[in-house]
Structure formats: structure tokens, C-alpha cells
Amino acid sequence: MKLIKRNVRIIVFAVLLLLGSLVGYGAYSLAVYGNRWFSSASNVYARRHKADVIPGRIYDRNGTLLASSDESGKRSYNNDPALRSALVHVIGDSANNVAYGVESFMAQYLYGFTDSFVDRLSQAFQGTRRRGNDLRISIDAGLSLAITKAFPAGKAGAVVVMNYKTGELLSLQSFPVFDPMNIPKDIEEDPLKPFWNKATRWLSAPGSTFKVVTLAAALKNIPDAMTKTYECTGAYQVGDTLVTDAGMASHGTINLKKAVEVSCNITFAKLALEVGDEALRKAGQAFGMDDHFLFTDLVVENSVYPTTNRVNKEIAWTGAGQSALLLTPLHMTMITAAIANDGVMMEPKILLQASNAAGNTRGSITPRVYKTPLKAHEADVIADAMRAVVTSGTARRAAVSGLKVSGKTGSAQVAGQAETNAWFVGFLDEPDLPYAVCVVVEDAGGGGQAAAPLAGTIFSQLRHLRHD
């Protein structure tokens, strides 16, 4: 009998432990995956109850109305076609053509799924159709509109602007844009894929912008990295490939700071082989490569460090930002922001505040450190090299008078394209203007010619935020 009682107690304890684990995992999953569940097309519960709710309004950080609904629940966007087009990839559209925009990814707020039972009951007694929560997001509508006007016509690409202290996204844009209230019938035939949010979902080799990661690997693995010199003769044979620089440039004897400034592929190919593939991989992973990104406010494709065919020529080209590297523009923004923020990488954020019809807050921004890939002194070394890129190197066209701009250009080769993809990443080293920027213009040539000037325009626009 005693044995039976003991076994019963063990079974009861095991069942309780399993139930507790199930509840705990459920709470964890709701916190981590909640937005994904609500935005999923297979969420029958959400679909059924959305019909009974007038979705909340969406405002930008300055109070500009971006999306609203009439009493029937019909959704409409800002009256200015240019403005609503500029924001279509971050806001989304009523038909959900743009995946994971605010309209779908924050449905739990917009349709009041987070409201308490008391709030729902109160609205029911008023005899009116229930209203969801209004959202104020971190996006700056005016800045986004200015970027759209400046982006090269007829080109695809992406632009991201992020506050590197808080993680707030002021711009999250993909090109080409489209008007969510006047969608062309043949839009899906457009080879530039207007529905696709390239800022968060397009994966590509980032070209020489990745050299900041290679430099980080050197700082962590080569004690005298910044005092060593390398020889650049214009061509470097690695296996059956020849590593060269733009225009077959020969830089002679240079140190790593100068190699960043002139974007010397040969030096960074040699550097990658010197530190080794595993150390370079670890440096990339410290910045979030190979992570399963689970952000609260948005969905971002996972960046990938290559794992196959890691022969010397591939390692060499990885150091220069090519090979099979895959990163999104948003992730490159996060990497740049970490360098600007003394080595601290913040989680990207969009939601500033969600409030119900009574004005009660249902959600608000909580800045969160995502990773700390660098020590502060390491970040300072990389930032100093990036500063030289703008003052006297390949990104001189990103310079803005009166502002301390740091950056790195990139020209990423992609099979099947006539021209390289032009990249630029950079930041303002200004205490009251803590902004990092990534610009990508596809099939446009060199980063210094196509991406850096647009970045300069963006930095000029950001200067006006100093007085806001």
C-alpha cells in the first residue's frame, strides 16, 4: 500500500510538473510569438473577430495620421498618395499584400485583442461597435517621404534609419513603392517586386560594408592588428581566383585603417585568411549572424554565414564581403548601430505607444539590448576608420557640412545583374542625433557613387530632427 501511495504521489507530481511546464511554455510562446500568431493567415479566431471591431488608427511619431477606418470598418490611408506610398512597406495594406506590416503584425493591438474583459464589456454597454487601439509608431513620415523622393527612379532597393541608442526605426523602406489605395492590376508582374519588403526580407551579400565585421574579427584575434601593414599590388591570387580592387587599384603598403578608407579587397582577403574562417564566423555571429531573429515589433529574415565550400578563396572573398554571405539591410543597420553605440546592439523597435478609446496605454516602447558584440574601445577603433572613409575615402559624397558622419561603402556583385548593388552603411557621431543609416540601390554600380550621395541627403534631413 505504501508503495502504491508513493507511486501515486510521483505520478501526481509528474503531471503537475508537466502542466506547469505547459503553462510556462504557453506564456513564453505568447510573449515571443504572439504577434506572429495574430498576424498569421491561419488564425481563424482573429479573422472571425476582426469583423466585429473597427481597427484603431495609426499615427507616426509626430502625430501624422497614417491609417484610419470609417464606422463600417473600411480602411483608408493618408490623403497624400506620395506619403502613403512611401510608408506602404512598413504600414502594410488592407489586402495584406505586404507581409508583416504594422497592419497585420500589430493586429492584436489594432483590433483590441489586448483589451481587458472590463473594457470590452464597457464598449458593449455603450451599444457601439467595439474599437481597437490607436498606435503611435516610431516612423517619421516626413523623413520617409523625403527619402522616397530622393531614391533613384526605376531602381529597387531599401533604406533603413535607426536610433542606435533606443532601437527606434525612423525609416523602414523598400523600393519600388506603390499606392495601397490604387494598386496597379499588373503589379505582380513587375520584376522589381513592389510587394516585397526588401529592408527586412531581402538577403544578399553586403559587399565591402561587411569589412567592419572582418575588422572586428581582427581586433579580437590579432593583438597588433591596427599597427600591422599589408601589401596591395592590385591583384592577389588565392587558389583559382584572383582578388582585385575596383579599377585594378594598387594601394601599396597600408595599415587596416587605410584599408577601410580605400576599401581594399586584397587587404581584407589576406586578413580573413589570417584570422581564419572560424574566427570570422564567430565575429559575424557576435553581431547576430545565424541567429533566429524573434523581435517584438517586426519580422526579419535570418542572416547566414556560409558553412559549405569553405576553401581559401571563399574565405578570402568573405573577408571582403562577398562569397555566400546573406544579410538584410536592417541587419546591416543593426551592425552599424552597434559600432556607433559603443559596441551595444539594440533590438529594432516600431511601436511607441498603443492606447485604447479611453486613452489608457496598452503597450509602449521598452528599449532592449539585443547583443553586445564589441567592447567600447573596439567599437571606437572601427568608428574611427569609418570616419576616415567619409572624410577622405570612398564615401566622401556622404559627408554633410557641420555633421560628424562615419560610414562604409560597398559594391556587391550579384549573378545575373549588369551592375553591382550599391551599399552604404553609416551613422552620425552626434550626441543629439544618434542615427544609423543603411542604403541599398540594386543594380546601380559602386556604393560611393550611387548609395553614399543618398545617405548624405538622409543625414541632411536628420539634422532637422535636432530641433524637434
Centroid of chain to Cα 224: 33
> Rounded mean pLDDT of 102-107?
94
If pLDDT is split at 50, 70 and 90, which confidence band does 26 have? very low
Would 400 be classed as within a structural domain? Answer: yes
HSE, CB side, 13 Å, CA atoms: give it for residue 65: 11
Would 175 be classed as within a structural domain? Answer: no
> Rounded mean pLDDT of 179-188?
94
Q: Say whether pLDDT at 370 is over 80.
A: yes
For position 13, what pLDDT does the model report? 63
Helix (H) / strand (E) element for 269: namely helix 265-275
Q: Say whether pLDDT at 38 is over 80.
A: no
Distance from C-alpha of 56 to C-alpha of 59, rounded to nearest angstrom: 10
| Helix, strand or coil, per DSSP, at residue 106 | coil
| Helix, strand or coil, per DSSP, at residue 94 | coil
Q: What is the DSSP string of 421-435?
A: EEEEEEEE--TT--E
Point out the least confidently predicted range of 9-13, 64-68, 290-294, 422-426: 9-13
For 276, phi then psi, to 5°, come to 90, 155
Distances (CA, A) of 111 to 67, 103, 358, 397: 13, 10, 15, 45
Bridging pattern class, strands 421-428 and 405-412: antiparallel
Burial class (CB in 10 A: 0-12, 13-18, 19+), 5: exposed
Q: Say whether pLDDT at 467 is over 70.
A: no
> Rounded mean pLDDT of 398-407?
97
| Helix, strand or coil, per DSSP, at residue 100 | coil
Would 156 be classed as within a structural domain? Answer: no
Distance from C-alpha of 214 to C-alpha of 212, rounded to nearest angstrom: 5
Q: What is the dihedral of CA 206, 141, 460, 320, to 10 degrees?
A: 0
If pLDDT is split at 50, 70 and 90, which confidence band does 28 have? very low
For position 196, what pLDDT does the model report? 95
Would 364 be classed as within a structural domain? Answer: no
For position 25, what pLDDT does the model report? 41
The answer to whether residues 207 and 410 touch, using CB atoms and an 8 Å cutoff, is: yes
Distance from C-alpha of 129 to C-alpha of 274, rounded to nearest angstrom: 66
Would 71 be classed as within a structural domain? Answer: no
Distance from C-alpha of 286 to C-alpha of 368, rounded to nearest angstrom: 17
> Rounded mean pLDDT of 426-433?
97
Q: For 248-304, write each residue's pLDDT tens digit.
A: 889 999 999 999 999 999 999 999 999 999 999 999 999 999 999 999 999 999 999
- As given in the structure block, the three cell numbers for residue 37 are 500568431
Would 447 be classed as within a structural domain? Answer: yes
Helix (H) / strand (E) element for 373: namely none
The answer to whether residues 104 and 96 touch, using CB atoms and an 8 Å cutoff, is: yes
Would 94 be classed as within a structural domain? Answer: no
> Which residue(s) pair with 134 in the sheet?
355
Q: In angstroms, how far is the first alpha carbon of the chain from the final one?
A: 77
For position 264, what pLDDT does the model report? 97
Output 12 or 129, whichever has higher pLDDT: 129
Other beta carbons less than 10 A from residue 167's beta carbon? 25
| Residues in CB range of 52: below 8 A, 6 or more apart | 129, 130
Output 433 or 129, whichever has higher pLDDT: 433
- Each as own residue / partner, the long-range contacts of residues 118-121 (CB below 8 Å, 24 or more positions apart, any chain) are 119/356, 119/358, 119/360
Q: For 144-159, write each residue's pLDDT tens digit.
A: 999 999 999 999 999 9
If pLDDT is split at 50, 70 and 90, which confidence band does 354 have? very high
Would 42 be classed as within a structural domain? Answer: no
Q: For 225-239, write each residue's pLDDT tens digit.
A: 999 999 999 999 999
For position 42, what pLDDT does the model report? 47
HSE, CB side, 13 Å, CA atoms: give it for residue 337: 30
Q: Say whether pLDDT at 16 is over 70.
A: no
For position 417, what pLDDT does the model report? 86
Q: Select from 175, 182, 178, 219 the least CA-distant residue to 197.
A: 175
DSSP H helices in 43-201: 44-50, 81-86, 88-91, 102-105, 107-110, 117-125, 141-150, 198-201
The mean of the pLDDT values for the chain is: 89
Q: Say whether pLDDT at 80 is over 60.
A: yes
Q: Which domain holds residue 272?
A: 207-348+369-467
Q: Select from 89, 47, 302, 278 the least CA-distant residue to 199.
A: 89
The answer to whether residues 406 and 392 touch, using CB atoms and an 8 Å cutoff, is: no
Number of domains forming the structure of the chain = 1
Bridging pattern class, strands 130-131 and 53-54: parallel
Q: Select from 99, 110, 109, 65 the least CA-distant residue to 174.
A: 99
**Which CATH number is 456's domain given?**
3.40.710.10
The answer to whether residues 253 and 235 touch, using CB atoms and an 8 Å cutoff, is: no
Using left for φ > 0, alpha for ψ between -120 and 50, and beta otherwise, residue 172 falls in beta
| Helix, strand or coil, per DSSP, at residue 353 | strand
For position 224, what pLDDT does the model report? 92
Q: Select from 224, 226, 237, 227 the least CA-distant residue to 269.
A: 237
